[in-house]
């Protein structure tokens, strides 16, 4: 103990995370754009879709968000990209990294080929990916081939936060919990459940207007999920 402090040796994972995050903040010119998204329709779709299912079979809202993010990336491919030196490389596949907490830190392995998977398949894939992450049994492509990352803290009492871009990816989306608040619709004040979504992006690769359009597309998909979300009316 030194001056009332007890030195604790950081784990190899914690050390690696620290090194990478410092590198990202020092070398990547971050900017941040936030949008408020109503999630009543999507939450209702999930409830209908999960009716009669066991807890293990239920599809989480995170799986729906991954599907919405994958569709948004297909429409805004400049965010499904990597910045390498002075070159922007767009990926053909949409591999959404999902931030998963483990004992020594946070890992964001990728769900592969999200653009061609439905919500049920993504839910099963996410459950499997989470279990293998915590067991230390990830496959190499899941660790290296992520093209965009979603960090969702909706299961905690967190309304909004910003995340750090994982190079060479050019953006990461941070989503908080859904909460009720009054909003105005057609001149009337109504109560809606909303979610704050913040995109952190690399200004070398994309700009604020592009980030605003990205969030606009995501907002449209989440607020009007008919046609893509199982259980939606």
Residue 12, pLDDT score: 73
Average pLDDT over residues 92-109: 89
Q: Do residues 114 and 96 make contact, with C-beta atoms less than 8 angstroms apart?
A: yes
Inter-residue contact 160 to 144 (CB < 8 Å) = no
Residues assigned a catalytic role: 203
> Comparing 6-20, 23-37, 91-105, 133-147, which segment has the lowest mean pLDDT?
6-20
CA angle 129-135-138, nearest 5°?
Answer: 50
Q: Give CA–CA dist 39/42, Å, rounded.
A: 5
**Residues 168, 148: Cα–Cα separation, whole Å:** 10
**Which residues neighbour 184 within 8 Å (Cβ) at sequence distance 6 or greater?**
190
Domain 29-223 has CATH 2.40.40.20: no
Residue 200, number of CB atoms within 10 A of its CB? 24
- The reported pTM is 0.93
What's the pLDDT at 190?
A: 95
The tens digit of pLDDT for each residue in 120-160 reads: 999 999 999 999 999 989 999 999 999 999 999 988 899 99
The arithmetic mean of pLDDT across residues 108-125, rounded, is: 96
One DSSP character per residue, 121-170 reads HHHHHHHHHHHHHHHT---HHHHH---EEEEE-TTTT---------TTB-
Q: What percent of the chain has pLDDT over 70?
A: 97
For residues 84-101, average pLDDT: 92
For the residues 194-218, what does the mean pLDDT come to?
Answer: 97
Residue 2 pLDDT exceeds 60: no
pLDDT of residue 233: 85
What pLDDT, on a 0 to 100 scale, did the predictor assign at position 25?
84
- Give the number of C-alpha atoms closer than 13 A to the C-alpha of residue 74, restricted to the C-beta side: 14
**Are the C-beta atoms of residues 126 and 62 closer than 8 Å to each other?**
yes
- For position 51, what pLDDT does the model report? 96
Q: Are 104 and 13 in contact (CB under 8 A)?
A: yes
């Amino acid at each position: 103990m030194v001056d009332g402090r007890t030195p604790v040796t950081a784990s190899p994972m914690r050390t690696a995370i620290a090194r990478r995050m410092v590198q990202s903040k020092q070398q990547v010119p971050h900017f941040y754009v936030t949008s408020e998204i109503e999630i009543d329709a999507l939450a209702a779709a999930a409830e209908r879709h999960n009716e009669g299912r066991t807890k293990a079979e239920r599809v989480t809202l995170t799986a729906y968000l991954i599907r919405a993010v994958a569709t948004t990336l297909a429409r805004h491919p400049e965010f499904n990209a990597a910045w390498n030196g002075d070159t922007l490389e767009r990926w053909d596949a949409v591999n959404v990294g999902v931030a998963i907490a483990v004992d020594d830190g946070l890992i964001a392995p990728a769900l592969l080929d999200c653009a061609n998977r439905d919500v049920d398949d993504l839910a099963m894939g996410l459950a499997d990916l989470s279990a293998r992450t915590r067991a230390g049994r990830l496959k190499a492509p899941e660790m290296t081939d992520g093209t965009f990352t979603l960090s969702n803290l909706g299961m905690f009492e967190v309304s909004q936060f910003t995340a750090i871009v994982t190079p060479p990816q050019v953006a990461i989306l941070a989503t908080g919990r859904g909460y009720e608040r009054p909003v105005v619709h057609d001149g009337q004040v109504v109560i809606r459940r909303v979610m704050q979504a913040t995109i952190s992006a690399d200004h070398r690769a994309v700009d604020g207007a592009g980030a605003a359009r990205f969030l606009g597309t995501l907002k449209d998909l989440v607020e009007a999920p008919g046609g893509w979300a199982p259980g939606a009316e």
